[in-house]
Each structure stands twice: as structure tokens, then as C-alpha cells.
Structure 1
Amino acid sequence: MKNKIVCFHVNNGFTGSPNVLATVVQGLFNENYDVALVTSFNNSGFLSNVNCSRKKNISYIFKKNKFLRLIQFLKFQLFSGIFLFGINKKDVIYLNTIQPFFPAVIAKLKGNRIIYHFHESYPKMSLFTKFLYFVVEITANEIICVSEYVLNQLNDKCQKKAIVIHNSLSSDYFDKQIKVPKVASRKRILMVSSAREYKGIFEFCKLAILLDEYDFTLVCDASKQDILLLFHDYKTIRNLEIVETQTNLHPFYSKTDLIVNFSIPSLFIETFGLTILEGMTYGIPCIVPPVGGITELVQEGSNGYKVDSRETTELIRKIKLILNDELKYKKMSDASIYFSKNFSYDTFISKVKLVIQ
């Protein structure tokens, strides 16, 4: 075994950051690194079945009440810090997102090397977020950023420690692909999103009403019960399907003609766009917001377009431009596959290894 890497992630789940960490952990383990993973294994998520040398569960239960949620968060910090007292000072500490602040402090005091993997950016910071970034500033040896956008949001001191490594797909992603030609007569538009208003979920629903010649599918990271409550006003739209949390998106990609991300720039800025990248490997053109790291996945007019989801008229024009011209669609589909190859798994793991070594 090579260097020992101890990875920390607060909330295991089916979102982007644990998905990327799963690729890192599995990739390093496959390269004979001794990798320990500390996360909330009590939750199902991308980290649940990843292979590594050692797994440590520190329970984290999401609470709707902010005070109770803070208690869960601080509990994870405390037990993570205690866990670190049992590791060697030569071990590398790998912190996924800015959230594991107490492990960073303990590791710094012990003299461990600390690597952060940044998936997020906060143009408008709360006092607590400023505190988390302060901890990063005083503890980090290296910072991996998922996009140029994320790196450019850092202050000068942190930028000197930072490198951009764009996300990639997992090593077995292509083994799971469903290679079946699309035969549906109606075009299908897909959005994969968390159940947050700032993600543009209601803009997506309203668009389905305006474009009833297409079918719309929203895969929402929420339970069936939560979906019924959240989308009560949209449940009668005949060309709109809203699906609960999915662990396998391949069946959806294989039936999709256009993939979109409708995050509202004034409320939330995407730092990457893993589901957009996944869709591109199926030859699916995309529409994404005009700002943030997600724009680094799109060559305007080639494999997709950058449009604010609140600009309904322009959005409709671009959707019809993509879906109603077969020759143009074929070119954009081919360009999507070609461009997705810039984000290969081998390149990703090689760059992560260079940082660790």
C-alpha cells in the first residue's frame, strides 16, 4: 500500500459531492492507496458501497429544524476530531467540501497534511460560512477546485494553494450505459435536481405547460411524499413526470433528447454539473445557466446553450432550435459525446494522485 489517505464527508447521499468523492476513494484504492473513509454511513448514498481499506460511520441525520440540524452537524465534527487522534501524523487528510472544519483544526494541530476538495462557492457568505473559509485558509495545504469558477472565488491566499481538477465520471460508468436507440415519437426533456426552489424546479414545470409538444421528466432528490406536497399545483400537467430520488439515472438518459439545468443565477450558482456531463456521454445536448462552473461544460451552439431559466422566450427559442432541426441535433449530439471525453476518469485520477504525492 502507498500513502494512507483519510477522507471525510459529512452527509452521505445521492448528490454531486459524495458522488465525486466516491470516484476519488475508489480510484485511489484501485491504485493501491490505503484509503479510510469517514462519513455518515447511516444514510444511503454514493459512498455506501465504495471499496476502501477502512470505513468509519459517524451518524448524521438531516433535520428540518435548523437548531437540531446544527446539533447533528456539530456531533459529526466532534466525533471526527476524536477519530483523528488515533491516526498517524504522516497520514494525508482529505476533506470533501468546506464543512469538516473540526477535523481540519485537529489535523493541523497534529501536523498532518490537509487537502480540501471544493465543490461549492458562496458569493454571499453568512458569518458561519466566513468562519469555515477562515478555517480553510489557516489549515489547507492544497485545495482542489472542481472548476475555474470555484478557484476564482477564492481569496489570493487560498488561490495560491489551489488547482482545478474538473470532475469526471466513475470508472464503471460506461459499463452501465444503456445503448438502445431512441424510438419515441415525442421528444423528451430531462432535469435532475434537488428539491429546492432555487434550482428552477418550478420554472421547469411551467415550461412543460408552455411546450406541450414535448415530454418533460424531473428527477427530484426527494421522497414520493415530499414530491406530492411540493408539486401539488403541478400534478395535473399531462406531459410532466416527476420522479423521486434515483440511484441509477441511465434509464432516464437513454430516453432523453435534451438535458437542462435551470438553477436561478441570482439565488444559486452551479460550480460544476455532473448530470450534464453524464447526459453528454449519451449524446444529449444541454441548456445550462449563463454563469458558474457549469458553463465550462458548454461550448455555445456546439453541444448546448447558456440561458437564464427566467428568460422564458429565449429558453423556448433555444429548445426548439435544438429539437426541431434533425441535422443540427445530430451535430450537437456528436459534439456532446466528443466534448465529454475531455473529462475522462483516467485524467481525473492521475491529477488527484499528483496532488496527493
Structure 2
Amino acid sequence: MKDKKKNDRIYNVAVIGAGGIGIDHITSFQKHPNARVVAIAETSAARGSEAAELHNIPEVVTDYKKLIAHPGIDVISIALPNYLHAPVALAALRAGKHVMIDKPMATRAADAARLVAEARNQKRLLMVGQNNRFTPEVQTAKKLIADGVPGDVYHAKTAWTRRAGIPRIGSWFTQKKYASGGATYDIGVHALDRCLYLMGEFDAAAVSGQTYSKFGPRGLGDGNWGKGEIDPSRRFDVDDLSVALIKLKSGRTVLLEASWAAHQPAPDFNGTQLFGTDAGILFPPLQLFRDTPRGYVTELVKTSAPYASTNRMTHFIDCLLGKAEPYVKPAESLAVQKILDAIYLSAKTGKEVRVK
């Protein structure tokens, strides 16, 4: 996985997908001196050519399989609709490539487990781009917890909720056959992942969840994210809001909320609150709540990024160079996928789901 003997090695990267996320992958990798984005695969020839010209990328293809088979490519970075994440990542791993995959890891835990096993078998780096872990707020909160400041963190509330932020009604994001899920998969996964990371526990015992679709089917709550095609005739058939109570194996709990569209005071809220026996933590902005001899106080905490680069792609290359340990481990992303599966199953059946 790491190349400790050749810390000056250049890694050739191919990005699969040149939509909004794909462009972010390209520009993020290009910030590392040991990474070269040498190719793009994009089914839209016009969109692929535009991205290649704008970002000085020498090769563009419409069939991603050509890049997976290319002997000169070291890293496959996947920025595709959710339903393609697992099959493309699996093919890339089997071809001996290192793989950066955008969230969610897959659309079901069984497929995510295959990716984890294949990466282990091939001795290749597999990482899910959970960029919310990389923020200075999260990294500073993690250090506060490691230093024991909040005491025992026994409960958390975590959310990413938008007032009107559906990624363009009629795009692949809002069609179940391509996305598999809606707000839960798109932004809820970020809130969930960073919360479990902060708590230092990913294995859930049971999940109760409920999903709603109240705005999208009425053509309300639209946003402007993405570059994919829009088909107004396509039915909006994913969730635009979800809630879940997650009971971890230790007995601690997490309350998760995600929404693309909802009546709320802020246009966008993306934060986490941790309840500890000695203090509480909330962000944004990063705050600490606790009792002191001078009374109950709220302290604003200065943030820093002590653990990893704030750029998930440059961190990925640092891991390949042997300069860093993977900040997002495949087993953790698999555990997150199991919880996502359980949320949707609980919403479908109306029952609490035990997680195996």
C-alpha cells in the first residue's frame, strides 16, 4: 500500500466522472506535487473535453474500462452516481489500482464488504472521501476528546440539513435507480461519519429510522449542485429528509438528521453536538460547554488541523508515499454503510433493525 522507499514517486491518477464532484477530485489531486491527473473518463464527450481543456489533462475517454486497464495509471478516483461506486471500484481494485471513492461507499453493505476484502487481498489503498473528517473543527474536537476534556461522550446529535438544497430535481441524485437514496446518502452520510469518528465507535447494535419525501415530488426545494443532465419527466423517488436513532454496541447513542429541503431558520446547517459527562462540544463554530468554579461557561475553541491534510486527495497520496496513515479506514466506511442500509430498512418496515 505504501511506497516508503520512493517518497518522490509520481502517482498517475485517472478520474472517472467529470461532473461537479469529479472536478473537485481533479483540482484536489492537482494540489499534490506527487500526483498527476493524466486522464478522465466521462460519458458526456463534451463535458469530458471541457474538463480536460480547463484542467490541462492529456487524455479523455468515454469508457472508464480503458483507464482501469491502462498499465500507466496508479490511482482510480471515482466520482460517479452512487449505483456505480461499488462495481467500478471493484473492477479497479481487481486491476491492481489504488482507489479513492466518493461517498457513499456503495448502495448496500454486501457490496461494500466485497470492496474491503478485495483491497485487502490486492494490498491496495481504498479510501472513501469523507471530507467532513478533514475539517479543522472536527480534528480539533477529536483532540479535545482524546485529551479527555468532555469526559465520557455518551450521546450525540449530528445533522446536515438544508432549507432548499436538492441537487437539481430530475438529475441522477433524485432518481432511486441511480442514487439508491436521497438526502441520507448525499449529506446525511457526512454527518454520520464524522460523528462516529469523533465518538471512536462505528459498530451499531440497532437502528430506528424514518425517511420522508415531502418537497421534491412537488417540485420544491431545488438547488443548483452538479453538472449532470436533468430530465423533468423523471419522478422524484428518493428521500428529501430522514431521521434516525442509532444505538451503538457500547450502549451510546447518535441522533442523525438529514434534509435537502425543510422549513428551518438557517439555509444550511452542518454540525454535531456531543454530550459528555464533564463537558459538551458543539460545532459550528467549535464551542465547549462546562461547569467551572466561576459558573457555567461557553468557550469558543481555536481550531487547527493536527492529524491530516484538510485535502482528502492530497492525504490519499501522502498515504501512498508512506507519509501518513489512512485517515478514513475501509472497515469504518463499511460500518457506516451498514447503518445506512439499516436506516432505509427500518423506514421501509417500520421496525427497529438489528445490525449484524
Q: Which has the higher contact order (CA 8 A, sep 6+)?
A: 2
- Same fold by TM (over 0.5)? no
Report the TM-score when normalising by structure 2: 0.39
TM-score where L is the length of structure 1: 0.39
Which is strand-richer, 1 or 2? 2
Structure showing the higher helix proportion among its residues: 1
